[in-house]
């Protein structure tokens, strides 16, 4: 079974997806981390990530491994390194390149093949897994998403950006993600849309889990047509 969770930056996708996967006993596929790895690798190799062909080459070359809730690039643990503001902005840039997106989608499908997976990103229900069993789209007010990111950075000891700077970055990223020519950010027609602005993580997870459990029950109780 494949469950997709899409939505803009700061809507709670990663946290919700990770907890939902734990409750369901599924694997968690952090696709956002994969784009962050490409951005990190471009910075590490001094590759201009605004150049589509160069960024796509890096995406094909870097070896990405997601295991034990950690992220590895070419055998190096980059879990913390890919969470800096510079990499965050870079991930949004490389994600606009069709060649990078095609390579990431190829790898995502390979990772999910034959598994029960909760996967999150910006095109999981529309491009990567259009036939997914359950699709969700999380959203929240930009100000709330900026507040969450600001608090997250402060807890990590990286409070070098002001709330207003983070809000500006989120709005810029929303514009890039929604207006890019390849796989723009939008909910799949059959996705369940959840506004997380005033909801806790537990409340969001409970809503999604309840929907999935109902789908699982319906699938097992449907009469056989054979």
Whether the per-residue pLDDT at 225 is higher than 60: the answer is no
Q: Please provide residue 6's backbone torsions phi and psi, each rounded to the nearest 5 degrees.
A: -115, 170
pLDDT of residue 226: 52
CA distance 184 to 196: 21
Q: Is the pTM of this model over 0.85?
A: no
Whether the per-residue pLDDT at 195 is higher than 60: the answer is yes
Residues 117 and 128 sit within 8 Å (Cβ to Cβ): no
Q: Is residue 225 part of a domain?
A: no
Q: Is residue 221 part of a domain?
A: no
| Parallel/antiparallel/unpaired status of strands 76-77 and 70-73 | antiparallel
Domain that holds residue 143: 2-210
Residues 13 and 177 sit within 8 Å (Cβ to Cβ): no
Q: Is residue 77 part of a domain?
A: yes
Q: Is residue 37 part of a domain?
A: yes
Q: Is residue 92 part of a domain?
A: yes
Among all chains, which residue has been given the structure tokens 């160069």?
54
> Which of 76-90, 151-165, 177-191 reaches the highest mean pLDDT?
76-90
Q: In what order do the strands lie in the sheet with 76-77?
A: 64-67, 70-73, 76-77
pLDDT of residue 5: 97
Q: Is residue 226 part of a domain?
A: no
CA distance 117 to 28: 6
Please give the structure tokens belonging to residue 226: 């054979």
Q: Is residue 216 part of a domain?
A: no
**Number of domains composing the chain:** 1
The maximal CA–CA distance of the chain, rounded, in angstroms, is: 62
Q: How far is CA 38 from each of CA 90, 102, 140, 183, 219, rounded to the nearest angstrom?
A: 9, 13, 26, 17, 38
Q: Is residue 21 part of a domain?
A: yes
Q: In what order do the strands lie in the sheet with 192-195?
A: 27-30, 117-121, 2-6, 134-139, 192-195
Mean local confidence (pLDDT), 117-127: 93
CATH classification at residue 87: 3.40.50.300
Mean local confidence (pLDDT), 200-222: 90
């Amino acid at each position: 079974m494949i469950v997709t969770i899409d939505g803009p930056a700061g809507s709670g996708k990663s946290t919700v997806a990770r907890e939902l996967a734990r409750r369901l006993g599924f694997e968690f596929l952090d696709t956002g981390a994969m784009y962050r790895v490409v951005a990190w690798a471009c910075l590490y190799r001094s590759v201009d990530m605004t150049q589509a062909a160069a960024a796509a080459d890096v995406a094909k070359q870097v070896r990405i491994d997601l295991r034990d809730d950690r992220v590895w690039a070419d055998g190096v643990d980059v879990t913390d390194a890919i969470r800096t503001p510079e990499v965050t902005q870079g991930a949004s840039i490389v994600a606009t390149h069709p060649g990078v997106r095609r390579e990431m989608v190829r790898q995502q499908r390979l990772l999910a093949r034959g598994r029960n997976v909760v996967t999150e990103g910006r095109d999981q229900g529309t491009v990567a897994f259009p036939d997914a069993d359950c699709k969700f789209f999380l959203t929240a007010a930009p100000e709330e998403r900026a507040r969450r990111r600001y608090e997250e950075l402060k807890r990590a000891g990286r409070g070098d950006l002001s709330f207003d700077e983070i809000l500006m970055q989120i709005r810029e990223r929303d514009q890039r993600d929604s207006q890019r020519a390849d796989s723009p950010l939008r909910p799949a027609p059959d996705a369940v849309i959840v506004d997380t602005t005033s909801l806790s993580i537990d409340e969001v997870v409970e809503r999604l889990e309840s929907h999935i459990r109902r789908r699982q029950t319906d699938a097992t109780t449907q009469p056989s047509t054979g």
